[in-house]
Structure 1
């Protein structure tokens, strides 16, 4: 199967999926989300693949957010559908995947990029990575699971601060928060992921798949459904129209507060 926006490399039971849109800092557009889903679906049935690693091309960005230009003019209904479809086909799909998926964060992981990393079963980052959920600066909220997975990973208070300020944190802070498992130099990022993958592959693939399922049972789907609804409602606000327009026009937003 051929892809325009991702690359797949296989070796010794490991599949490395690289999001390859360097000119856009690997931003997630609808086509890339679809390609990732198709690749994951194909690898799910590949008995030779035991562990997956997701990363971004280059050293600047893992995924620097969603492609804002695609949904700036969406209605409430379209916004809700965007969130619902994305969660179902990619973010929830990864979280409930039957093989371990490791995020190798090689730079900026913002908005949908951080949400993608959080959907993976665990995360490693290079020492200059930056992470955040800046959606409120656009008049919208995280819509790909960010309001649910971030509190689960780092606690409610820290998650609230990150989401409400829209600010970024560095790798050391992400490590202390528990957002990532390991911080390594860029040249050691993929090798360290592979090292962990080989440790996992020594174990029963059936037991590993079952363990993933068992851990995920502890987290409610209701919160994600609420996020989808509220994300969609954000598309009907004047703040959203101003926030996205300001972003695309590269100016500071002046939110009317309605």
Structure 2
């Protein structure tokens, strides 16, 4: 499969859809696919008509089943650090930092790098057939694409350690109970529900969503006092936007708001 086919990009109204398209390999991530994914994200970021992004996997077996284990087995530490690890960390950080809201449609296995990608996305809908986990410990490895750090910041520490230390897989229902995903959806309805959710978000002010995402992301890395001061400054910026006053006036007028990203 060539690089152009590894990730499919489409726009459905205000929603961009990225589909990791290597079903023969359970959508496993290798360097060409990661670079293609990065370029696809950039394409949707540059498209002003795209207000939200859905990320999913091709087929009905896997979202992303991890990395190429044979490739990992052939690597030495310094080469891995300078090549694959450098790229996957950069690409995952791009997804985490994008100003456009992201919705995961987890259509099957999300193991290793699949769960690590999931951890960078804003809202996560998961198929009732999906399985999640960080099985790297079973290979004598540990999650090295951000998973060991993002997971401990998103679920209770003791549960994060259990998942990483045992390498156990969990069901979609368990992932929701842990707070790792938002909700379970029937497999045949997953993409449509993800699109519907993304379309709802896309109706909001794109400028205010951008500022909100930055406020939340940056605040996570601050002590509470600094984060509250940061929030105070950002909401001040929001009140200088046209969209904030349009939203308030629309509420008073009992009409839909006309958000323009201004």
If the length of structure 2 is used for normalisation, what is the TM-score? 0.80
Mark the runs of 5 or more structure 1 residues left unpaired by the alignment: 222-258
Q: Residues of 1 paired with 2:95 and 2:147: CA distance?
A: 14
Equivalences, count: 219
The structure showing larger relative contact order (alpha-carbon pairs under 8 Å, at least 6 residues apart) is 1
Residue 84 of structure 1, aligned match among 58, 83, 86: 86
Residue deviations 1:25-80 (CA, integer Å, cap 9, x gap): 11111110000000111111101111111111111110101112223222221222
1:162 is displaced (CA, Å) by 0.2
My pick for the range that moved more, 77-86 or 29-38, is: 77-86
Alignment match, 1:253: none
Please give the secondary structure, in 1, of the residue aligned with 2:154. Answer: helix
Q: Residues of 1 paired with 2:205 and 2:109: CA distance?
A: 34
Alignment CA distance shift 1:53-1:65 (3 Å):
same
Residue deviations 1:135-158 (CA, integer Å, cap 9, x gap): 111111111110111122211111
My pick for the range that moved more, 193-202 or 29-38, is: 193-202
**Do structure 1's residue 56 and structure 2's residue 72 form an aligned pair?**
no
Alignment match, 2:163: 162
1:85 is displaced (CA, Å) by 2.4
Please give the secondary structure, in 2, of the residue aligned with 1:119. Answer: coil
1:12 is displaced (CA, Å) by 0.9
1:8 is displaced (CA, Å) by 1.5
Alignment match, 2:236: none
Q: Residues of 2 paired with 1:137 and 1:91: CA distance?
A: 23
Alignment match, 1:28: 29
**Do structure 1's residue 42 and structure 2's residue 46 form an aligned pair?**
no
1:209 is displaced (CA, Å) by 0.9
Please give the secondary structure, in 2, of the residue aligned with 1:4. Answer: helix
Alignment match, 1:191: 192
Q: Give 1 or 2 for the bigger CA radius of gyration.
A: 2
Mark the runs of 5 or more structure 2 residues left unpaired by the alignment: 223-262
Alignment match, 1:13: 14
Please give the secondary structure, in 1, of the residue aligned with 2:219. Answer: coil
**Do structure 1's residue 149 and structure 2's residue 150 form an aligned pair?**
yes
If the length of structure 1 is used for normalisation, what is the TM-score? 0.82
Alignment match, 2:139: 138
My pick for the range that moved more, 108-117 or 64-73, is: 64-73
